[in-house]
Structure 1
Amino acid sequence: MADKCDLCLLGLIILSSLLTGTSGVDDHVFISSGENVSLPCNNTLSDCKSTTWTYYNRFSHPVVVELIHGGINNKDTERHERLSLESDCSLNIKNVTEEDYGSYTCQQWMHVNGKDQKQGTDVYVYLHVLHVSVSPSSSSSSSSSSPTEISPGRSVTLSCQLYFYTGLSCDYWVSSGRIELLWVNQAGVDLKTDSRYQISSSSDQYRCIIITLTTTLLNEDNNREWRCQLTHRNQLKTSVRYTVKYSAQADSTTAVNPVHITHSQDPSTINTHVSKETHFKKEEELFSECVRIHTGPP
């Protein structure tokens, strides 16, 4: 029994060294829909001719999709026109949509002795997308009105949705306070403290968090700003600002126009935290198994 436990503990040491040093890098990137984003790849060789980028999303794309091969776009993918490589082989995605969220992997392949051989470690980048939609409604008429038409006296609902992809469950990230969505005013005050706004939250298979703001528009709401902001580990990562602008004519309609604000982040800091959370969890599970073997019946 002692031999088994010793072997288990040895495996734990080996696993710890692998997970903390040589098994690749995890990076988390937060972006608002409609923005452009660059996904980093830090395992590149002398140029991008060896670079391959793949995409996977177990919810919407359960099959791995090759986006870039040998530094060249795969023209068979629907979004190939929005993809390009930087000189450092980072993957550029133009006009990000909520469908772009998921796991991206950067690999290096070389043709050696007539065979393609992978070089170095994989780089994993998790792309999370913040998306906001508006749904005005009215108790009067106007069944033919546009979805973006709003005016004083009408009820409007802003839905802020986080498409979040990670190896750990969404509930874990939310309950632990690692990610949070808030609707705030121009001064940055949480709108949940104002009774005129109805704030609710939910989630589904694709969207980790959905936080909705519903209110009836007042005349003084002209030029009013509401902002949905995403924080990760109490650091603001990205936000979307909505500003209401009424036209001069009282009976005309006006749209709520989104302005995306993406805040810079320190990938090295995020990598360290995320990797340790995942790695320590695996280590604890293995250590528990060791303890069970050691203390179990002879």
Structure 2
Amino acid sequence: MSQFRWIIMSSFLMLLFHFTAGKYSTSTVRAGDEVTLSCEHVIDDQDKCDSTSWTFGGLRGTVMLLERGEISKEAEDKSDRLSVTEKCSLVIKKVTEDDAGSYTCRQNRSGEQKAVHLSVVTITEQKNDDTVTLNCSVLGYYSGCRHSVKWLYEGYKTDVKTTQHSCSATATFTTSHLNQKSKYNELLKCEVTEEYSREVKLFPFIPPQSSGEKPGENMMI
């Protein structure tokens, strides 16, 4: 059922790409972080974004998030994580995988609209005695992989084994091989490249107790 829903959503988002050509952007963020999705062609004389609407298309369908400057009833389950800036940008706190999808900002009077395609990165850790496996995966804005993922590491090239899959990568190593003065979350970074924008972000592994303290580092290639 979920696969079928992804097929339907993929078709919807492909149409969205077609009709918003040149008026979309992409954003990749780590789960747990905060992201601001910007809107364009914002009407200057509106009161508290009352002429702006935000909609979201994801795995569970299309949802109205903001209507006439107010968080809609459809978005009540995430209303404590949503807010709007003075320029009508949408702010999402504590991003989850469920937030991956396409967000459309529409200026209701002019009809101008822009789509922002959000992808979410999740990094997990699995320990088995002194062996550690880190997995970095990306949930994109529609089905099918639109990112390349790989692990980068400083030194210990013969001791760290990496494997790349579709939209994910793993790094496996033993802690006994690492410098005792260094933490492996400082030595390894997950590199995520978005296919269309060619934006590259680096995400270090962050232990659960400090998750969300470091955002991804931006680069362009």
Percent identical pairs in the alignment equals 26
Which residue is 1:210 aligned to?
168
Counterpart for residue 5 of structure 2: none
> Is residue 2:156 matched to residue 1:130?
no
For the Cα contact (< 8 Å) 2:42–2:107, is it kept in 1? Answer: yes
What are structure 2's unaligned runs of at least 5 residues? 1-17
Aligned equivalent of 1:287: none
Question: Partner amino acid for 1:230?
Answer: V
TM-score norm. by structure 1 comes to 0.57
Q: Does 1:74 align with 2:72?
A: yes
Q: TM-score, normalised by structure 2?
A: 0.74
1:215-261 CA-to-partner distances (Å, cap 9, x unmatched) read: 121164432321112234696632221378xxxxxxxxxx7965533
**Structure 1 residue 92: Cα displacement:** 0.5
Distance 1:106 1:137 in 2: 46
Structure 1, residues 94-142: CA drift from partner, whole Å, max 9, x if none?
12122211000111225xxxxxxxx32221110011110111123xxxx
Residue 200 of structure 1 and its aligned partner are, at CA, apart by 1.6
2: CA distance, partners of 1:93 / 1:195: 40
Higher strand fraction (1 or 2) = 2
Mapped partners of 2:179, 2:24: distance in 1: 43
Q: Which amino acid aligns with 1:227?
A: K
The change in CA–CA distance for 1:219 and 1:264 in structure 2 (over 3 A counts) is: closer
- The letter for the 1-side match of 2:168 is I
Question: In structure 2, do the counterparts of structure 1 residues 101 and 162 end up closer, same or farther at CA, with 3 Å as the change threshold?
Answer: same
**8 A Cα contact 1:237 1:264, kept in partner:** yes
Partner of 2:103: 104
Q: Any idea what SS the aligned residue of 1:201 has?
A: strand
CA contact (8 A) 2:159 2:177 kept: no
Larger radius of gyration: 1
Aligned-partner residue type, residue 156 of structure 1: V
What are the within-5 Å matches in structure 2 for residues 7-156 of structure 1? 25-46=23-44, 47=46, 48-57=49-58, 60-61=59-60, 63-77=61-75, 78-110=77-109, 119-138=110-129, 154-156=130-132
Contact 2:149 2:164 in 1 (8 A): no
Q: 2:202 aligns with which of 236, 239, 251?
A: 239
Count of matched residue pairs: 194
Q: Name the one with the larger helix percent.
A: 1
Q: What is the letter of the counterpart of residue 123 of structure 2? A: V
1:195 to 135, 158, 169: 158
Does the C-alpha gap of structure 1 residues 211 and 43 become closer, same or farther in structure 2, counting only changes over 3 Å? same
Partner secondary structure for residue 218 of structure 1: helix
Question: What is the RMSD of the two structures over their aligned residues, measured on CA atoms?
Answer: 3.1
Structure-2 separation of matches of 1:256 and 1:197:
24
Q: Deviations over 1:155-197 (max 9, x none)?
A: 1110101112258x42xx4xxxxx432211247xxx8xx2322
User: What amino acid is aligned across from residue 162 of structure 2 in structure 1?
Assistant: I
